[in-house]
Amino acid sequence: MAKQKRKVLEVTEKKNKKLKKASAEGPLLGPEAVPDGDGAGPQGGAVLRAVQDAEPELSPEEQRVLERKLKKERKKKERQRLREAGVMAQHPPARRSGAELALDYLCGWAQKHENWRFQKTRQTWLLLHMYDSDKVPDEHFSTLLAYLEGLQGQARELTVQKAEALMRELDEEGVGGPDPLLPGRAQRIRQVLQLLS
């Protein structure tokens, strides 16, 4: 068993050396060398044949790995060249937060858009944060209650169980405690329990 592992490691090291040697000699397939399907491009067929002749021992998987590495290196060099030229890479627009996406999902449901569709992640976010007035504002909570009326199956049962557990927890702590947000939260929990029970 140990001999096999050593042998596999030796073969892997040899292949890695071949890959490094091939990558040092030049790119395997540059973007301009990709054939259009028949290999009849100006350079595509010649480069592809030259690579196949030079490295016949590389398996297709090893060639793909080598091509990926070379592509990554080219991109890295391009980014470095742009950085040196002082051109900042354009950043993609900032991603929207889960709160925004979930509230848009809820508003889409309320307006009965024909392109609205069920999204489990958005529903899960709403169910997790529905008692937090910072994350689900009061103007959206009434819409959320209407959405909860249609809640079915395990989601409905778990929501009721969670609301009951939270209500017990609040009763133990006492609603008139030091946290001023508790009465609003308790009111939301009661509304959910009344709706779903």
The answer as to whether 20 is a domain residue is no
The answer as to whether 93 is a domain residue is no
- Distance CA(22)–CA(37), nearest Å, equals 24
The answer as to whether 69 is a domain residue is no
pLDDT at 119: 92
The answer as to whether 76 is a domain residue is no
**Whole-model pTM over 0.75:** no
The answer as to whether 60 is a domain residue is no
- Distance CA(156)–CA(180), nearest Å, equals 29
The answer as to whether 138 is a domain residue is yes
User: Which domain range does residue 132 map to?
Assistant: 98-196
Q: What is the tens place of the pLDDT at every residue in 43-102?
A: 444 444 444 455 557 888 888 899 999 999 999 998 888 888 775 545 556 788 888 999
Q: Is there a contact between 29 and 39 (Cβ–Cβ < 8 Å)?
A: no
> What contacts 119, CB < 8 A, 6 or more positions away?
105
Q: Tokens representing 2? A: 């140990």
Burial tier of 160 (Cβ tally within 10 Å: 0-12, 13-18, 19+): middle
Q: What is the 3-state secondary structure (H, E, C) of 67-126?
A: HHHHHHHHHHHHHHHHHHHCCCCCCCCCCCCHHHHHHHHHHHHHCCCCCCCCCHHHHHHH
**Total domains present in the chain:** 1
Q: What is the tens place of the pLDDT at every residue in 150-164?
A: 999 999 999 999 999
- Distance CA(173)–CA(181), nearest Å, equals 13
- Distance CA(33)–CA(74), nearest Å, equals 14
The answer as to whether 182 is a domain residue is yes
- Distance CA(119)–CA(23), nearest Å, equals 45
The answer as to whether 52 is a domain residue is no
